[in-house]
Structure 1
Amino acid sequence: MPLTDVESAGDVVLRRAPRLLPTLARGVLNGTGKRPRPDAVLPATRLVLPAARIDPARVAAYARLCGFPPTGPLPVSYPHLLGFPLAVRLMGSRAFPLPLAGLVHTIHLHPLAARPLGFPRALAHGMWTFARCAAEAVPPGAAPVRLTAAFRAPVLLPATVTYTRRDAPDGTGSTFQLRGGPAAGHPEGRVHLYGTVTYGTATR
């Protein structure tokens, strides 16, 4: 195994996953002073981790937290955790044209951190909300599947939300959504997230 990362034709082959906290700190430093530009071009670099390791204990903890079955196939949303450190390294580099923000934020922890950004209370993390819906939307053992989701509004904490799913008559998949309770302008509840599940198609 090489002792350093290997770069070739725009690809950087990593010998191990980046350490998250130092990578986040470097991203904050590199992002200081950056301003988004409409003509910004994303770097062509691609990070590759050939020997990505899956820790069974971490998978089990993730499954419990998000409502997936304790045994069976890898939770459909878990690959996001494997790719997240690589995404942070890409977005935290000097070549990335946008500032690094919103990945790890105290707005999910305390209302005092959320208020300066216009939120009266702390927010549920979007990827947990997505994973919790995915645990309900994808039947155990259904593989392969293609899962898509769109975020419409944050979930303020504490909150009571309603999850609904509608299966396609031909059995090819389903649609789902997460709604809040009735509110001004949203008598049926505000849509926080909606998505689709299609069976027999590999997730990309």
Structure 2
Amino acid sequence: MTARTRTFTSAPSTLPLMLKAVLPALPVVGGLPGIRHQRGNEPDVVLERRGVRTDAAHLAAYREVCGFGPNPALPATYPHMAAFGLHLTLMTDTAFPFAPMGLVHLRNSITQLRPITADETFDVAVRAADLRPHPKGHLIDLVTDVSIGGDAVWREITTLFSRGRGGGAEVSTAPLHGVEAPDGAVQWKLPGDLGRRYGAVSGDRNPIHLYPLTAKAFGFPSNIAHGMWTKANCLATLQSRLPEAYTVDVEFQKPILLPSTVAFGSEKSGDTTTFGVVGVKKASTHLVGQVTPAA
């Protein structure tokens, strides 16, 4: 059966979608028809935007907050910005099997088949896939494909974790199973407003990233850094050492509480670069990742 396609002529507004994402987490309200999410398979729908153009001012703001220097090509994490509104649209639909605010961004894989320049127009398509068991719940992927003139140039797989009953052993080994963060001497001092600054650029204004008070409402002792900001800042640090075509996999482990100081480290073995982010006061691993040449 061919998946149903919904086409958007512009990026969905993220603020109303963030508010919609919160509703299923509210007592009583979250159980109402039209708000409660159905349990079942991933929705059989593809959300797409065609003819996406890069706004120069937005790109400059993204580069600044994520640490990227000037470059004719877009940062490999930047197409995620064009897809984020589609991600929210998909996750806030009641046909999506999990309430958005209960999900944890566990893993993220980006494959850049070739650099995308800032003046190129591209198409974006998003779908949910591979609902599967996890020892503490379930996993589901959001798959994003970017193409130019019909040719695939970029793909992202965002793996989300939903805690709950009814899970089981993972059917495949996690991509970075057994990989540890290298020691690093590079320190990042992350301010308390980092989540608000990145949220203003990305549209991801999840309350857990904004203020200590809003984060505490969802069980965190303080607001936490966005995982995609952390991944982007890692790639910005590695920018001069990246090939033109590569896959970068990361696993998000312990959240980074803001403000804080963390250490970045990397090491290369053959064609593989392993990197990670570790706490300075407490040596807890926040992120581990690898860059490998694209197949």
The answer to whether the superposition gives a TM-score over 0.5 is yes
Give ranges in structure 2 of 5+ residues lacking alignment: 104-203
Deviations 1:29-87 (A, max 9, x none): 577323674xx211010111121121121111111111111233101111111100011
Provide the C-alpha distance between the structure 2 equivalents of 1:49 and 1:9, rounded to a whole number of angstroms.
16
Identity of aligned residues (%): 36
Structure 2 partner of 1:126:
227
- Cα RMSD between the aligned structures? 2.4
Give 3-state SS (helix, strand or coil) of 2:260's partner: coil
Provide the C-alpha distance between the structure 1 equivalents of 2:281 and 2:23, rounded to a whole number of angstroms.
42
Shift, 1:137, TM fit = 2.7
2:268 to 156, 167, 170: 167
Contact 1:43 1:95 in 2 (8 A): yes
Shift, 1:153, TM fit = 0.4
Contact 1:30 1:92 in 2 (8 A): no
Provide the C-alpha distance between the structure 2 equivalents of 1:29 and 1:119, rounded to a whole number of angstroms.
19
TM-score, normalising length from structure 1?
0.80
Deviations 1:76-107 (A, max 9, x none): 11111110001111111132222122663222
User: After superposition, where does 1:27-106 map in structure 2 within 5 Å?
Assistant: 27-29=21-23, 32-33=30-31, 34=36, 37=39, 40-101=40-101, 104-106=205-207
Shift, 1:195, TM fit = 0.3
Q: Does 1:145 align with 2:139?
A: no
Task: List structure 1 runs of 4+ shifted beyond 6 angstroms.
Answer: none
Report how many aligned residue pairs link the two structures.
185
Provide the C-alpha distance between the structure 1 equivalents of 2:278 and 2:63, rounded to a whole number of angstroms.
23
Larger Rg: 1
Contact 1:27 1:89 in 2 (8 A): no
Contact 1:27 1:93 in 2 (8 A): no
Shift, 1:12, TM fit = 1.7
Deviations 1:135-193 (A, max 9, x none): 1134267311211100010011121110001012x3x230100000253xxxxx11100
Give ranges in structure 1 of 5+ residues lacking alignment: 1-7, 184-188
Provide the C-alpha distance between the structure 1 equivalents of 2:216 and 2:230, rounded to a whole number of angstroms.
21
